[in-house]
Amino acid sequence: MTETVERFIRQLVEPEYLLQNEPMEKHTTFRVGGAADMFIRIQSAEQLIKLAAYFEQLHQPYIVIGNGSNLLVSDRGYRGVVLQIGDGMGSVTVDGVRMCVQAGALLSSVAVQAAQHSLTGLEFASGIPGSIGGAVVMNAGAYDGEMSQVVESVTVLNEQGGQMVLDRDTMEFSYRTSIIRNRPFIVLEAVLCLQHGDGQKIRAKMEDFNERRRAKQPLTFASAGSTFKRPEGYFAGKLIMDAGLRGYRIGGAQVSEKHCGFIINVGNATAQDIYELIEEVREKVKERFHVELEPEVIRIGDFI
């Protein structure tokens, strides 16, 4: 990073929100990852827009993350700038059945606020740990619900620094993906359209989903949630279990004994351990069942 770039950053970012050589293990739910050259906690959409436009102009490497719940960052870290969208872009406003939500708001928190306003449609999201930005990009979902069912529009920043509003059809939602997944867009906010409901029933449904998660998922271990997408006609967890991989380990990474669809950090895993375990699971499942498992986890940085 040049002195010019660093000087520009310091003009826009207050010192307490700017970290150098910041370990990414602090910012991912896997709790692994080497250091990023510079880590910035974004405090406003305006700040994000200025930084992204400047980096694009100068071809400065950067990535944008949210809660880090679907990321695997290399032990070698990231040679560039990480822009984290969080509380500084976490506002939520409710108008009738619509919620306007900035990208940094936690999905689980938004689900709770929907319930407080007796709005139904977002109960499935109450236990998903990601932010709205990532949830929209990945079309996050659980228990037969997903973001495509509630998103009315998404405001994004494009690589030219312009803002675009994409409606639900333009988003091209499909299973765990959207048009944004393969485009250089940054989510700024989303408008969710819900329905009026009974607050007590909404909260009961959310508690039921959360109880199911506690019963079936390894929530006491660091993970990125479901590691693999559901292959058509199959369940990833059952394929992995039937391949004899329940509890299988590489270093500190393990196929969860509680739910084989989760790869967990049992306490001392490296990113390389997790990467190698993902690849070995894919190889063994393909060898046994001729099914290709596609990871949901997004890899950042170099792996061996």
Supply the residues annotated as catalytic: 176, 226, 296
- Cα–Cα distance, 226 to 293 (Å, whole number): 12
- Cα–Cα distance, 131 to 261 (Å, whole number): 22
Task: For 182, list phi and psi in degrees, rounded to 5.
Answer: -115, 25
One-letter-per-residue 3-state SS of the chain: CCHHHHHHHHHHCCHHHEEEEEEHHHCCCCCCCCEEEEEEEECCHHHHHHHHHHHHHHCCCEEEECCCCCEEECCCCEEEEEEEECHHHCCEEEECCEEEEECCCEHHHHHHHHHHCCEECCHHHCCCCCEHHHHHHHCCEECCEEHHHCEEEEEEECCCCCEEEEECCCCCCECCECHHHHCCCEEEEEEEECEECCHHHHHHHHHHHHHHHHHHCCCCCEECCCCECCCCCCCHHHHHHHCCCCCCEECCEEECCCCCCCEEECCCCCHHHHHHHHHHHHHHHHHHHCCCCCECCEEECCCC
Strand order in the sheet with 163-167: 92-95, 98-102, 186-193, 151-157, 163-167
Asked whether the beta carbons of 205 and 118 are under 8 A apart, the reply is no
